[in-house]
Structures are given as structure tokens and as C-alpha cells.
């Protein structure tokens, strides 16, 4: 049995300990906002917060989540995610949309750490998130816009 | 991007403005939209008593924007307010939802806007006329005195007003007008505006539903072990270890490989890993990439079959200088970030599917045939796709057939989700064909191109699919389009094509033939112009005939916005390329820096003429994305086969994608035009590669004749 919390709810699940968190979220909990893109931590589509830190859920076995708090795109709250989502909407960042939950998780984590990121900060923080539609121009623009909103 | 006040106004208009898209989760739902929407004047429009207007979108939404674009056309002629518009994917129905450019339901060739432009406007105009007629009857006033503006029907003299919702019941009883009048461009309220996309909200909060997000009761997830070599078949299977994996329910051979059925995705993955399969390689491609290149090089040297000829190239016997080059382009995987997937549910002799289906008509027929049931008993719900770039546009219907075979092989009714992993996707074929070009130009002392010969060798995409019938015995022009049909005036020209046969499956990859022809033609042309001492832009303009006004328009525009002064400036290289693809004219200028001997693109300027710009912001987004998609490929991408025929790449660590740090700034200028709209999904792609080649040659002196630029360099 693995005990952990997802989006504020407690779970106690009997699942093979090597099962990646990604497939527990999707197949068991039906939290489908977290996406599968590569399975080897190369694309970032599966990014979730594990105890407040962005993690690739596709390579995180459920056994490593014991006692932890997981937050997915569906459960994100706070000024950073609000500003990021508003900027993403204002600028119409998404095209196909598949990677965007992961992009938004990484962008939110960046702004929690670095309130006014430079282009280099953005390059570093977002390096692990692939957008196959190449919406990168707008992702960069939206992160700067969200940072500006948070400045007030 | 310039976010206009209008756009902000729309966004500020209401918090609930961009409501998550409703999803056709079943036959009842897809067809039954009319049940909750009392006014359904045609197959495309549903208006509810709540004033909401839902447009059934006959083209798959895979990021390129048809949910927004086609809804704009309806809203324009309906005089609806943008905030009341919703979009929903139309189910498979060839009679109602055919692409007018194909005669079958399907999305491709950047045709969504072009073929829908009049159809969607007429649908909206018809609905508007019926709402007006209903109001006239209800209020007892002449229809001509009624106005409609931003979703409000009004009669000024009597002061009566109504929303659409209150009129739906009466409107439904009105005769459907045959030929409702359409607006002229000067009266457009919504067309030409940067309206916010209808699918953005659900794609930023995790609520958008894609194929992989569909879960049916009792559903099994299925992975298929495909042969490691193209054209190989299953010889024998030992499924003992696979069946011992907790959660694995069954293993079945199907025509494309061996299917493993499990109660969850991870169990299916582990079960597939535990399979022991012996493959029969008798019909397999066993050549490695080097061998394939060698045979293609042989074919171009032999000259191919003439597919276009102008003047007599043999008569140009004594040019002052002859310039020759050979270009090599690898197999490319599309790698949409949502790998291929499909859900199928069978029940009592009927089947229902949910997936990002790009060619519904072909898939519909193929699934009915595979299951041996009438087409009326198969329904396909078309969901949004997490990218495609051509990968889901399958003339062979291989994904739909694989899903149907899985359902059939199960031997019982049930729901099955077919999932391809990233490794399946990259090793699974349906690649942009590996291609070799040979170009040869004869030039005169006084700066004229006397002869131009371009021989192309590759596999045909259409051959061997149901779409081959469209060729009617002619050569498959998607193999060499863009080498043929050039606007430039050369003394004499010949385009040749050599067709290679191989079991490696190939498919159109965003911009199809132009992915390689634009590079070969525009990079070679630039080398020829340089050899003649001519500027990239002035030299091209000289080659264009007077009637080539749209070609000239984008070239002059990109020169203007990039501040073109020549091929180098302040230690940076500049390159320009022009391509017309899918009836859209695009010119791009690339600015490149040398970073440790490698090219780093810092900025791209793009001028596009796609006729009427229905939604300029979507057009800019498609140019930005097309530029990034192309840059990813020309810098990094190649699928190769080792000697023996096995694909060498498996995931993003060895098939690297462009990352945010490599994405240049992009500036897009849209040419003002009254011409009917043409596509934007693909045309941003072709000029980028050659523009980079030209910029890098200017800066470094190196000619890049084999792609990708950074083969083997992992970013």
C-alpha cells in the first residue's frame, strides 16, 4: 500500500511499487491533465509538483511518493498559477495543447522561485519541456507577462 | 505579438467567455446536439435557448486553429457575438462533412479554411435569415427593417429586441434559404480580427479531452509489439511471461504485430516487454541508410523520368559556368507530442470510436471492412489531437485498422484503448521520405540562368494506399512539388523524378514535398546567384515575371521588415528564401550567429500572403510554429537505419527536438489581400531551412547540402 496526497486528498492505494506516478494519476485517479509524451523524462509533458517541486511523473515510481503531496494541473492554486494561466489565455499560447499542462507547471515553479526571470532564467527552467508546435515565442512572452502581473 | 485593444475587450467581456469545449462523448451526444439545441438549420450550426451557438467543425483541431477559424466565418455572417460561440468536432459523416477540396471528410494540405470559407459563411447567413424571418413574424414587422448585431436581433422603429435563444423555436419553422446573401469584405466585423481561440482555456487548465484521456467502463489498454524491421511479419510468439504480468489479460497476434491487452497502461507496457516474438524478415527492408542514399544518388545521376520541361535543356551547350550540387534529406518522424492512440468500443455488432481522426471517410470505410459490419454501424467521434503534422492523415488508415483488429481479435465486446509509446512512434515508420536532389545550372557571362535541371529521387507517398487512385497513372507530384512549378524565369528547365520502392512506410510531413524541394531549390538558387555576383533578394526579383505580383509582394515585404542590406552585417549571417506552398506565398529571412562553429538562429522575419487574413493572430501563430518545427528538423532530426534495416533512434534523447533556448524571435508581416483565404498550417515551414542554409553559408562559407545541420549533436 502506498499512502500519499493528491491535490489535497488522501490516497492509500495497492499498486505495484514500480508503477510510474504518471499512470497512477491517469489510469487510477483519472486526472488526465498530466500528459504522456516520452516516458523517459525528456519532454516534460508529465510534470507535476511533488512536495512543491516540479517532477517528471513518468519516471517517478509510486513507491517514491509515499508520504508526499502531489499537485497536478487540476489542483494548482495560488498567485503564480493564476497569473500564468491568465497570461497563457491572453496571449493564446497553446496550439495542439498537449504539452501545455507541463509547460504551465514548469513556468509556475519558475515564478515561485524567481519572481522576475530573465530570458536565461526562462531558458534554464523551461529546458526540459518540449513543445512540438514550437509555441516557445509565446511561452517566453507569457512568462514575462505573468511576472509583470505578479509585480503588481 | 501585438495584443490589440479589441482583443482585450473580448477577454474582459466576461469571465465565462471561453468555456471549456463540450465533447462529443457518444453517438447520442454527437447527433443529439440538436436535442438540446432547438435550432439546427444545417449540419454545422446548433443554437440553444441559452443563446449559445455551437459550430460543428468538420476539420480536426490539432493546434492549427479550425475550431476558431471556422467558427469565425459562421459568427461573421450570423452577426453573433464572439462570446456566444462554441466549437465541437463533427463526427465522421462523408455526406455532411466532406472537405470540398477532397470530396471526402478529411483534413490536410492546409485546406481547412480555403474549402470552408464560403460554406461556413453561407451556413451562418442561412441561420441569420431564419432568425430574422422568425422575429419578423413574431413582431409583425417587415424583415428588411430588422437588424442583427453582436447576437442581438432588433427592430428600431418598434424598439423590439431579442437574443437568438428566444427565437430558436420559431426560427426552426422557417424555410431554409437556398442562397442567402453574404457580406462584402468592408462589412466584416469579426473576420480580420485577432479573436481569442475557442480552445485555449481548456488547454491551460488540463480539462481539454484528447484520445488518451478517454476512459470507458471495463476498458483495456492495448500496446502492440511491431516488427523491428519494416515489412517483417510475426513468425512465433511466446506469451507466457507476458500473461504472468499482473494486469495483463490477453495476448493476440494481429496483422501489424502482437497485441497485449491489460487493465492499465503500465501493465500493458510491462507485458509487451515480457513477450518473446520471433520475426520473419523475408519481406523486410534490410538496407541501412547509407545503402539507401547510395541507390537514390544513383537514381538522380541517371536523370529520372521527366515530369516538367520548358525549352530545350540539351540545346544549352556552352554556358560560361556550370554549377552542380547534390542534396540529401533523411527520413523524418513527425513526433506529435501525443503519440498515436485510438479508443474503440464494440457492442452487439456495432462499433464506436473516439480519437484524433484526420481522415474520417477513409478510416470509416476501413474499420467497417475490418470488422465486417456495415458502415452505418460504425461511428467515429473526432477528438482534438495533440499534434499531427501529417502523422494522423493516413491514406492507409493503419491506426484505425489496428484498433479495429484489436477489438476483433479480443473475441468479445468491450472497450479498448490502443496506445503507441514514443518508441513505437519513432521506430514505427510513416516517415517523411528520405530524398536526394541533384541540381545543375548553366549560367552566362552576363548574369543569366540559361538552364536549370533538378532531379529528385525518393519514395512515393500515395503509392500503395487507397489514395493512389487519385494519381490516375500520373507520377506522384507530392514527391517533387516545389521543384516543379517554380515562378522563376530560367532559359530552359527540366525536372526529373526517380521513384524508389521500399517497405519503409512513408507519409506527408508538414508541407510534404516542399520539406525538401524548397531547401534544394532555394539554397541552390542562392549559390547560383552568389556565383553571378547577385544579391539574394534583388537576384530573385529579377528572375520573376511581371505577373508574379504576390511572389514579389512577400519578397519585398520580408526585405523591408528585416532591413535587408545583404548576406552579412555586423558579424551575423542573413539568408532569404521564398516558397509558395498550398497556394500561400511565404518569404523568410533568417539571422544567424556562429556559436562555437555551430549555427544559432537569433531572429526570423516572415512575410505571408494567404489571401484574406481571417484571424491574423492564428496566422502569426502558425508561422511562428512552422518556423520552429522546421528549425527543429533542419538542425537536429534524422531517422536512420543501421545495416540490416533496424531504426537507430528511439526517443527524444537521440531524436532531439528544438528547445526554448534555440527558438529565435519571430516577426511576421501579413500581406493585406482580398483574395479568398488559403492555408497557413504548413506554408511557414518550407522557407526556413534554405533561408538558414543561405545565412550560414554567408557567415561561415560552408554549404550545407546534407541535413540535419547538427547531426549527432545532442542539445
Question: Hey, are the CB atoms on B337 and A96 less than 8 Å from each other?
Answer: yes
pLDDT digits (tens, 9 = 90+) for A46-86: 999 999 999 999 999 999 999 999 999 999 999 999 999 99
**What are phi and psi for residue A10, nearest 5 degrees?**
-85, 140
Question: Hey, are the CB atoms on A23 and B266 less than 8 Å from each other?
Answer: yes
Any B CB within 8 A of A11 CB: no
Question: Measured at the alpha carbon of residue B423, what is the angle toward residues B289 and B342, in degrees to the nearest 5?
Answer: 120
pLDDT digits (tens, 9 = 90+) for B321-351: 999 999 999 999 999 999 999 999 999 999 9
Span B211-282+340-419 CATH architecture: 2-Layer Sandwich (3.30)
Residue of A nearest to B653 (CA): A42
Residues of B in contact with A45 (CB under 8 A): 337
pLDDT digits (tens, 9 = 90+) for B150-165: 999 999 999 999 999 9
pLDDT of residue A143: 98
pLDDT of residue B36: 57
Domain A2-75's class? Answer: alpha beta
Residues of A in contact with B12 (CB under 8 A): none
pLDDT of residue B478: 96
pLDDT digits (tens, 9 = 90+) for B454-464: 999 999 999 88
Question: Hey, are the CB atoms on A94 and B204 less than 8 Å from each other?
Answer: yes
Indicate the CATH number of B5-203 among 3.40.720.10, 3.30.365.10, 3.40.50.1950, 3.40.50.720.
3.30.365.10
How far is it, in rounded angstroms, from Cα A42 to Cα A22?
14
To test the contact with chain A by mutation, choose from B264, B386, B601 the residue with the greatest count of A C-beta atoms within 10 A, namely: B386
pLDDT bin (cut points 50, 70, 90) of residue A3 is very high
Read out DSSP for B593-635? EEETTEEEEEEEEEEEE-SS-S-HHHHHHHHHHHHHHHHHHHH
Per domain, the residue ranges of chain B are 5-203, 211-282+340-419, 289-332+430-700
Question: Pick from B8, B215, B629: which is nearest to A30 by CB?
Answer: B215
**What are phi and psi for residue B117, nearest 5 degrees?**
-55, -50
pLDDT digits (tens, 9 = 90+) for B347-363: 999 999 999 999 999 99
How far is it, in rounded angstroms, from Cα A83 to Cα B489?
54
Say if CB A73 and CB A4 are below 8 A apart: no
Nearest Cα of chain B lies from the Cα of A67 at a distance, in angstroms, of: 22
How far is it, in rounded angstroms, from Cα B657 to Cα B652?
7
pLDDT bin (cut points 50, 70, 90) of residue B309 is very high
For all residues of chain B together, what is the average pLDDT?
A: 93
pLDDT of residue B39: 93
Q: With a cut of 60, say whether residue B479 has pLDDT above it.
A: yes
Residues of B in contact with A131 (CB under 8 A): 337, 628, 660
For all residues of chain A together, what is the average pLDDT?
A: 98
Residue-level length of chain B: 715
CATH 1.10.150.120 maps onto chain A at 79-151
pLDDT bin (cut points 50, 70, 90) of residue B715 is very low
To test the contact with chain A by mutation, choose from B206, B269, B417 the residue with the greatest count of A C-beta atoms within 10 A, namely: B206
pLDDT of residue B469: 82
Residue B96 CB neighbours (<10 A): 14
**What proportion of chain B, given as a percentage, has pLDDT over 70?**
94
CATH 3.10.20.30 maps onto chain A at 2-75
Any B CB within 8 A of A23 CB: yes
Nearest Cα of chain A lies from the Cα of B172 at a distance, in angstroms, of: 35
Say if CB B329 and CB B516 are below 8 A apart: yes
Question: Pick from A97, A98, A134: which is nearest to B663 by CB?
Answer: A134
Domain A79-151's class? Answer: mainly alpha
Any B CB within 8 A of A21 CB: no
Q: With a cut of 50, say whether residue B385 has pLDDT above it.
A: yes
Average pLDDT over residues B364-375: 98
Residues of A in contact with B212 (CB under 8 A): 26, 32, 35-36
Question: Pick from A38, A129, A134: which is nearest to B651 by CB?
Answer: A38
Average pLDDT over residues A10-18: 96
pLDDT bin (cut points 50, 70, 90) of residue B429 is very high
Residue of B nearest to A85 (CA): B204
pLDDT of residue B441: 98
Say if CB B47 and CB B165 are below 8 A apart: yes
Say if CB B204 and CB A104 are below 8 A apart: yes
Question: Hey, are the CB atoms on A88 and B197 less than 8 Å from each other?
Answer: no
Q: Which residue has the cell 491568465?
A: A86
Question: Hey, are the CB atoms on B387 and A30 less than 8 Å from each other?
Answer: no
Residue A113, C-alpha cell as written in the block: 522561485
Comparing B109-118, B194-203, B265-274, B466-475, the range with the smallest average pLDDT is B466-475
Question: Hey, are the CB atoms on A88 and B653 less than 8 Å from each other?
Answer: no
pLDDT digits (tens, 9 = 90+) for B553-587: 999 999 999 999 999 999 999 999 999 999 999 99
**Run of H or E including B55:** strand B53-57
Average pLDDT over residues B51-77: 97
Any B CB within 8 A of A79 CB: no
Residue B310, C-alpha cell as written in the block: 520548358
DSSP 8-state code for residue B548: -
Q: Is B211-282+340-419's fold the same as B289-332+430-700's?
A: yes
Question: Pick from B63, B265, B421: which is nearest to A27 by CB?
Answer: B265
Interaxial angle between packed helices B112-139 and B66-78, expressed in degrees from 0 to 180 and rounded to the nearest 10: 30
Q: Is B390 left (phi over 0), alpha (psi -120 to 50) or beta?
A: left
pLDDT digits (tens, 9 = 90+) for B578-633: 999 999 999 999 999 999 999 999 999 999 999 999 999 999 999 999 999 999 99
Classify B150 as helix, strand or coil: coil
pLDDT bin (cut points 50, 70, 90) of residue A152 is confident
pLDDT of residue B12: 30
Question: Pick from B204, B337, B621: which is nearest to A104 by CB?
Answer: B204
How far is it, in rounded angstroms, from Cα B237 to Cα B259?
11
Question: Pick from A27, A93, A134: which is nearest to B629 by CB?
Answer: A134
Q: With a cut of 60, say whether residue B303 has pLDDT above it.
A: yes
Any B CB within 8 A of A54 CB: no
Nearest Cα of chain A lies from the Cα of B411 at a distance, in angstroms, of: 24
pLDDT digits (tens, 9 = 90+) for B4-39: 333 333 323 222 222 222 333 333 333 334 445 789
Question: Measured at the alpha carbon of residue B409, what is the angle toward residues B403 and B414, in degrees to the nearest 5?
Answer: 70
Residue B561, C-alpha cell as written in the block: 521588415
Residues of A in contact with B198 (CB under 8 A): none
Question: Hey, are the CB atoms on A126 and B660 less than 8 Å from each other?
Answer: yes
- Could you please state the CATH topology (level 3) that the domain comprising B289-332+430-700 is classified under: Aldehyde Oxidoreductase; domain 4 (3.30.365)
**Run of H or E including B325:** strand B321-329
Question: Hey, are the CB atoms on B625 and A133 less than 8 Å from each other?
Answer: yes
Amino acid at each position: 500500500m502506498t499512502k500519499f496526497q493528491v491535490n489535497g486528498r488522501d490516497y492509500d492505494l495497492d499498486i505495484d511499487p514500480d508503477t510510474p506516478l504518471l499512470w497512477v494519476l491517469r489510469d487510477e485517479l483519472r486526472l488526465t491533465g498530466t500528459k504522456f509524451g516520452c516516458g523517459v523524462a525528456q519532454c516534460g509533458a508529465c510534470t507535476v509538483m511533488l512536495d512543491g517541486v516540479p517532477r517528471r511523473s513518468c519516471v517517478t515510481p509510486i513507491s517514491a511518493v509515499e508520504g508526499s503531496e502531489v499537485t497536478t494541473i487540476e489542483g494548482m492554486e495560488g498567485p503564480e498559477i493564476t497569473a500564468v494561466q491568465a497570461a497563457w489565455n491572453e496571449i493564446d499560447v497553446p496550439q495542439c495543447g498537449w504539452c501545455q499542462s507541463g509547460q504551465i507547471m514548469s513556468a509556475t515553479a519558475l515564478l515561485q522561485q524567481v519572481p522576475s526571470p530573465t530570458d536565461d532564467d526562462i531558458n534554464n527552467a523551461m529546458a526540459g519541456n518540449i513543445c512540438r508546435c514550437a509555441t516557445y515565442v509565446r511561452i517566453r512572452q507569457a512568462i514575462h507577462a505573468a511576472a509583470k502581473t505578479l509585480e503588481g | 505579438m501585438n495584443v490589440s485593444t479589441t482583443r482585450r475587450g473580448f477577454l474582459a467581456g466576461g469571465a465565462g467567455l471561453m468555456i471549456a469545449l463540450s465533447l462529443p462523448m457518444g453517438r447520442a451526444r454527437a447527433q443529439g446536439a440538436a436535442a438540446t439545441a432547438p435550432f439546427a438549420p444545417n449540419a454545422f450550426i446548433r443554437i440553444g435557448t441559452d443563446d449559445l451557438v455551437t459550430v460543428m467543425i468538420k476539420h480536426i483541431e490539432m493546434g492549427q486553429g479550425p475550431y476558431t477559424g471556422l467558427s469565425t466565418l459562421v459568427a461573421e455572417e450570423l452577426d453573433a457575438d464572439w462570446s456566444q460561440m462554441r466549437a465541437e468536432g463533427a463526427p465522421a459523416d462523408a455526406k455532411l462533412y466532406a472537405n470540398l477540396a477532397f470530396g471526402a471528410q478529411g483534413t490536410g494540405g492546409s485546406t481547412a479554411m480555403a474549402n470552408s470559407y464560403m460554406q461556413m459563411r453561407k451556413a451562418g447567413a442561412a441561420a441569420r435569415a431564419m432568425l430574422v424571418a422568425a422575429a419578423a413574424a413574431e413582431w409583425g414587422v417587415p424583415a428588411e427593417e430588422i437588424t442583427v448585431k453582436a447576437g442581438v436581433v432588433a427592430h428600431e422603429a418598434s424598439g423590439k429586441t431579442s437574443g437568438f435563444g428566444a427565437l430558436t423555436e420559431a426560427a426552426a419553422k422557417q424555410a431554409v434559404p437556398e442562397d442567402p446573401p453574404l457580406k462584402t469584405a468592408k462589412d466584416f466585423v469579426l473576420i480580420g480580427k485577432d479573436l481569442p481561440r475557442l480552445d485555449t482555456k481548456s488547454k491551460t487548465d488540463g480539462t481539454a479531452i484528447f484520445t488518451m484521456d478517454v476512459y470507458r467502463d471495463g476498458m483495456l489498454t492495448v500496446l502492440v509489439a511491431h516488427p523491428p524491421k519494416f515489412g517483417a511479419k510475426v513468425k512465433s510468439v511466446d506469451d507466457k511471461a507476458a500473461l504472468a504480468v499482473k494486469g495483463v489479460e490477453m495476448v493476440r497476434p494481429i496483422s501489424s504485430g502482437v497485441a497485449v491487452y491489460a487493465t492499465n497502461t503500465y501493465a500493458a507496457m510491462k507485458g509487451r516487454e515480457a513477450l518473446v516474438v520471433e520475426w520473419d524478415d523475408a519481406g523486410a527492408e534490410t538496407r541501412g541508410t547509407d545503402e539507401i542514399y547510395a541507390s537514390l544518388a544513383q537514381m538522380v545521376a541517371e536523370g529520372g523520368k521527366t515530369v516538367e520541361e520548358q525549352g530545350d535543356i540539351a540545346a544549352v551547350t556552352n554556358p560560361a559556368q556550370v554549377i552542380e550540387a547534390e542534396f540529401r534529406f533523411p527520413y523524418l518522424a513527425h513526433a506529435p507530442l501525443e503519440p498515436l492512440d485510438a479508443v474503440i468500443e464494440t457492442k452487439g455488432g456495432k462499433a464506436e470510436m473516439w480519437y484524433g481522426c484526420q481522415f474520417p471517410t477513409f478510416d470509416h470505410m476501413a474499420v467497417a471492412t475490418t470488422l465486417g459490419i456495415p458502415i452505418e454501424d460504425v461511428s467515429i467521434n473526432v477528438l482534438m489531437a495533440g499534434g499531427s503534422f501529417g502523422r494522423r492523415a493516413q491514406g492507409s488508415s493503419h491506426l484505425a485498422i489496428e484498433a479495429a483488429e484489436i477489438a476483433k481479435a479480443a473475441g468479445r465486446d468491450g472497450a479498448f484503448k490502443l496506445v503507441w509509446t514514443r518508441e513505437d512512434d519513432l521506430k514505427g515508420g510513416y516517415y517523411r521520405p528520405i530524398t536526394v536532389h541533384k541540381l545543375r545550372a548553366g549560367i552566362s557571362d552576363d548574369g543569366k540562368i540559361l538552364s536549370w535541371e533538378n532531379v529528385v529521387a525518393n519514395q512515393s507517398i500515395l503509392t500503395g494506399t487507397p489514395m493512389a487512385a487519385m494519381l490516375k497513372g500520373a507520377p506522384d507530384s507530392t514527391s517533387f512539388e516545389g521543384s516543379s512549378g517554380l515562378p522563376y524565369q530560367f532559359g530552359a528547365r527540366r525536372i526529373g523524378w526517380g521513384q524508389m520502392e521500399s517497405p519503409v512506410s512513408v507519409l506527408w510531413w508538414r508541407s510534404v514535398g516542399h520539406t525538401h524541394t524548397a531547401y534544394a531549390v532555394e539554397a541552390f538558387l542562392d549559390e547560383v546567384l552568389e556565383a553571378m555576383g547577385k544579391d539574394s533578394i534583388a537576384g530573385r526579383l529579377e528572375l520573376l515575371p511581371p505577373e508574379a505580383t504576390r511572389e514579389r509582394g512577400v519578397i519585398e515585404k520580408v526585405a523591408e521588415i528585416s532591413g535587408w542590406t545583404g548576406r552579412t552585417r555586423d558579424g551575423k549571417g542573413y539568408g532569404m528564401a521564398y516558397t509558395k506552398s498550398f497556394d500561400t506565398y511565404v518569404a523568410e529571412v533568417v539571422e544567424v550567429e556562429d556559436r562555437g562553429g555551430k549555427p544559432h538562429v537569433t531572429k526570423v522575419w516572415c512575410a505571408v500572403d494567404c489571401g484574406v487574413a481571417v484571424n491574423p493572430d492564428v496566422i502569426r501563430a502558425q508561422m511562428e510554429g512552422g518556423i520552429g518545427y522546421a528549425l527543429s528538423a533542419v538542425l537536429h532530426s534524422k531517422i536512420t537505419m543501421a545495416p540490416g534495416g533496424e531504426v537507430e533512434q528511439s526517443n527524444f534523447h537521440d531524436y532531439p527536438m528544438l528547445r526554448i533556448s534555440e527558438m529565435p524571435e519571430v516577426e511576421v508581416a501579413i500581406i493585406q489581400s482580398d483574395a479568398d483565404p488559403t492555408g497557413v498550417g504548413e506554408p511557414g515551414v518550407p522557407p526556413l531551412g534554405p533561408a538558414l542554409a543561405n545565412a550560414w553559408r554567408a557567415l561561415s562559407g560552408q554549404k550545407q547540402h546534407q541535413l540535419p545541420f547538427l547531426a549527432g549533436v545532442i542539445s
